[in-house]
Amino acid sequence: MKVFNEATVKNTYHMSDAIQDIEQLFTDMDGIRLDQRIVIPTGDGAKSMLYMPCVHTGRQLGIVKITSITPDNPQHGRPTTQGNIIVTDLETGEHVASLDGSYLTRLRTGALSGIATKYLSRKNTTTLGMIGTGGMAFEQLLANIEVRDIDRVILYNRTIAKAEDFKSRVVEAFPKLTVEVVDDVKQLVEQADIINCQTQSAEPVFDADTIQPGTHINGIGSYRPDMKEIDNRILPKADKVFFDDIEGVKEEAGEIIEANEKGIFKFEDVDGDLKALSLNGTLQRTNDESITVFKCVGAAHFDLAVALGAYERLIQQ
Amino acid sequence: MKVFNEATVKNTYHMSDAIQDIEQLFTDMDGIRLDQRIVIPTGDGAKSMLYMPCVHTGRQLGIVKITSITPDNPQHGRPTTQGNIIVTDLETGEHVASLDGSYLTRLRTGALSGIATKYLSRKNTTTLGMIGTGGMAFEQLLANIEVRDIDRVILYNRTIAKAEDFKSRVVEAFPKLTVEVVDDVKQLVEQADIINCQTQSAEPVFDADTIQPGTHINGIGSYRPDMKEIDNRILPKADKVFFDDIEGVKEEAGEIIEANEKGIFKFEDVDGDLKALSLNGTLQRTNDESITVFKCVGAAHFDLAVALGAYERLIQQ
């Protein structure tokens, strides 16, 4: 078994690869076999282990993503979530690689937003607003930059100092970008062409009434029924609403579950999943005035796409 | 993540360790959390991937055993079953080690027979009969040798040449043992103090009527409802019948399921599981005339015991 740590995977496998590999997988889904993920509590509160297996019989490769959730880790300078992906060659039965799964999870989550942005945001998008500047934010930025000519980024975070830290990181990585931090989310909402939310907020992080025509919203933060970062009053105003994985969103996305319960927006009102958006050109944005929304919770086959893509590039080196 | 291959694990972790660690775990089961194993078909027939997670909250360590079943592998000189165990430190959330799981699975299966033999076979046992000399056999031999003063081993296998090959391996490893191959299983049954069966036979591999008083039987081969290596007519004649894991045997052990269906031996007639046998001295063999039976199908917590034991020894080196 070869072990590829985060630095190695990062050097070899990039956002453009992840977007391409996920869209490629959408054309070749028949061979995918998976099962419900397993969650085992390992301590108090959310402390747990998650196991998400998924195989591709056509490509004869399979993965299992093993994720630990350790809520008190930040107090000790360690990340809350740590992922590892084991790749098995189904042709030989050999367990061939261990890939760092933390970067790959952030990258694939970014790539999902990137695909949504590519097909739902206005082509003349230049300003990206980011609400939440935590662990998932950098790859969300990378994804939007990959598919749109972003020249300005507006950042909002509950703790302003963290937004400033993130700004420094962005400026260092992309010196040509104009990056600003705002202390009132309304300033961001009114100016951004894309609003990308990556918080774990239990309350909406923006006010639906302040959303401008032509805005595209990516919501990737809420992944539990108690998390509701998107103001779900935006959903009936949106011309297009897509979910990365419809069954996953129904079970996990707090603001969408609430919207469905309250009758604000029923699950069946969704325009489709990310696969449909990627493959069917008629589902994409048609005018500059539409409001569009993409809600993402993740699913094992997205992990499969990036893990196999990364593995195949890593072993060719 | 540190990778420990089969040779490294083998050099560090032995049968005596496995027996001790499994019995130790029996005294400390409260912290064990597990979930049903996941099986994903990956091709024709039995070709599949198995995922078995199990954690110990007290020791703050968890494992997942990832097993590939590749039925046509022997045609290509590769093993049908290949296991890998990933160890996670629940204290830090870090995925700390990958251990070869094939040897550890054989070793723990041996250790389970070893524990049964220790408490159920006659103390003056000297002759071990082994039916089936395939991939699991060597560790079954090691286990019985570990707990009893075996000086003679009788081997039977459907394909005699394979029994001869196995004999050579045993003689090389244990030159003081008297090892013989028989072509009639009856010769083995009539002379052996312990009969250890490790076949995947769909039919009984011995005739219950030929079993002598005082014999102990370990059956570790049948792990599917269609596999029935033990002649289940022996069950009502046995003074003591133990299963490694009662729920597992009810679901997987063909000969026991059939016995229960036919009313030959009901599930509830079992004397207990291996944990009870290990912890409760009153359940052990009390006289030299009893026939005793141990049926084993394996369970995730046994893998946990040996994986954590091996891991803890490996990192101390």
- DSSP sequence for chain A: -EEE-HHHHHHH--HHHHHHHHHHHHT--TTEEE-PPEEEE-SSTT-EEEEEEEEETTTTEEEEEEEEE-TTGGGGTS-SEEEEEEEEETTTTEEEEEEEHHHHHHHHHHHHHHHHHHHHS-TT--EEEEE--STTHHHHHHHHHHHS---EEEEE-SSHHHHHHHHHHHHHH-TTSEEEE-SSHHHHHHH-SEEEE----SS-SS-GGGPPTT-EEEE-S--STT---S-GGGGGG-SEEEESSHHHHHHH-HHHHHHHHHTSS-GGG--EEHHHHHH-GGGS--STT--EEEE----HHHHHHHHHHHHHHHHH-
Q: Which two tokens stand for residue A260?
A: 């469905």
Instruction: Give yes or no for B73 touching A (CB within 8 A).
Output: yes
Q: Give the single-character DSSP code of B202.
A: S
Chain A, chain B: beta-carbon pairs less than 8 Å apart: 134
| Mean pLDDT across chain B | 97
| Nearest CA among A104, A123, A122 for reference residue A112 | A104
pLDDT band at A34 (very low <50, low <70, confident <90, very high): very high
pLDDT band at A167 (very low <50, low <70, confident <90, very high): very high
Cβ contacts (< 8 Å) between B82 and chain A: which residues? 93-95
Cβ contacts (< 8 Å) between A39 and chain B: which residues? 35
Q: Report CA-CA distances (Å) from A124 to A148, A149, B279.
A: 8, 8, 73
If DSSP codes are grouped into helix, strand and coil, which group holds residue B88?
strand
Provide the pLDDT for residue B37. 87
Q: Give the single-character DSSP code of B36.
A: P
For residue B254, with 0-12 CB atoms within 10 Å meaning exposed, 13-18 middle and 19 or more buried, which class applies?
buried
φ, ψ at B108 (rounded to 5°): -70, -30
Instruction: Give yes or no for B38 touching A (CB within 8 A).
Output: yes
CB B306 within 8 A of CB B13: yes
Cβ of A68 within 8 Å of Cβ of B88? The answer is yes
pTM: 0.93
Provide the pLDDT for residue B15. 98
Q: What is the mean pLDDT of residues B268-292?
A: 97
Provide the pLDDT for residue A1. 93
- Find, in chain B, the residue whose alpha carbon is nearest to that of A50: B53
Euclidean distance between CA atoms B87 and B305, whole angstroms: 12
- Find, in chain A, the residue whose alpha carbon is nearest to that of B57: A42
Q: What is the mean pLDDT of residues A180-192?
A: 97
Q: What is the largest CA-CA distance in chain A?
A: 57
Q: What is the largest CA-CA distance in chain B?
A: 57
Provide the pLDDT for residue A30. 95
Q: In three state form, how does the secondary structure of B129-162 look?
A: EEECCCCCHHHHHHHHHHHCCCCEEEEECCCHHH
Mutate to test the interface with A, among B5, B42, B54, B85 (most CBs of A within 10 A): B42
| Nearest CA among A198, A317, A204 for reference residue A256 | A204
Cβ of A98 within 8 Å of Cβ of B98? The answer is yes
Percent of chain B with pLDDT over 70: 100
Percent of chain A with pLDDT over 70: 100
Strand partners, B87: B63, B97
If DSSP codes are grouped into helix, strand and coil, which group holds residue B111?
helix
Q: Which two tokens stand for residue B151?
A: 């000086």
Which has the higher per-residue pLDDT, A46 or A68? A68
Instruction: Give yes or no for A80 touching B (CB within 8 A).
Output: yes
Euclidean distance between CA atoms B91 and B186, whole angstroms: 54
Q: Give the single-character DSSP code of B225.
A: T
**Residue in this structure with the two tokens 């599949």, named with its chain if needed:** B48
Provide the pLDDT for residue B210. 97
Q: Which two tokens stand for residue B168?
A: 């050579």
H or E element in which residue B261 lies: helix B254-262
pLDDT reading at A317 higher than 90: no
| Nearest CA among A264, A257, A267 for reference residue A224 | A257
pLDDT band at A172 (very low <50, low <70, confident <90, very high): very high
User: CB under 8 Å, gap of 24 or more: what pairs does A144-147 form?
Assistant: A144/A113, A144/A114, A144/A117, A144/A194, A144/A196, A145/A174, A146/A15, A146/A16, A146/A19, A146/A114, A147/A19, A147/A114, A147/A115, A147/A117, A147/A118
CB A3 within 8 A of CB B97: no
Provide the pLDDT for residue B317. 83
Q: What is the ipTM of this complex?
A: 0.91
Q: Report CA-CA distances (Å) from B214 to A27, A40, B6, B237.
A: 64, 44, 37, 11
Q: Report CA-CA distances (Å) from A284 to A142, A235, A295.
A: 21, 17, 15
Provide the pLDDT for residue B13. 98
Euclidean distance between CA atoms A27 and B186, whole angstroms: 60
Q: What is the mean pLDDT of residues A42-59?
A: 96
pLDDT reading at A36 higher than 90: no
pLDDT digits (tens, 9 = 90+) for B135-175: 999 999 999 999 999 999 999 999 999 999 999 999 999 99
| Nearest CA among A160, A143, A147, A90 for reference residue A118 | A147
Instruction: Give yes or no for B97 touching A (CB within 8 A).
Output: no
Q: What is the mean pLDDT of residues A166-192?
A: 98
Cβ of B60 within 8 Å of Cβ of A68? The answer is no
User: CB under 8 Å, gap of 24 or more: what pairs does B181-184 form?
Assistant: B181/B154, B181/B155, B181/B156, B181/B157, B182/B154, B182/B155, B182/B156, B183/B156, B184/B156
Provide the pLDDT for residue A37. 87
Euclidean distance between CA atoms B180 and B171, whole angstroms: 10
Comparing CB atoms, the residue among B42, B55, B78 nearest residue A90 is B42
Q: Which two tokens stand for residue B133?
A: 């000399």
Euclidean distance between CA atoms A233 and B285, whole angstroms: 72
pLDDT digits (tens, 9 = 90+) for A81-127: 999 999 999 999 999 999 999 999 999 999 999 999 999 999 999 99
Cβ of A38 within 8 Å of Cβ of B33? The answer is no
pLDDT reading at A148 higher than 90: yes
pLDDT digits (tens, 9 = 90+) for A213-266: 999 999 999 999 999 999 999 999 999 999 999 999 999 999 999 999 999 999
pLDDT digits (tens, 9 = 90+) for B88-136: 999 999 999 999 999 999 999 999 999 999 999 999 999 999 999 999 9
Amino acid (one-letter) located at B231:
D
Provide the pLDDT for residue A108. 98
Provide the pLDDT for residue A280. 97
H or E element in which residue B98 lies: strand B94-100
Percent of chain B with pLDDT over 90: 98
Provide the pLDDT for residue A158. 96
CA dihedral (B256, B260, B262, B263) positive or negative: positive
| Nearest CA among B154, B156, B130 for reference residue B220 | B130
H or E element in which residue B55 lies: strand B48-56
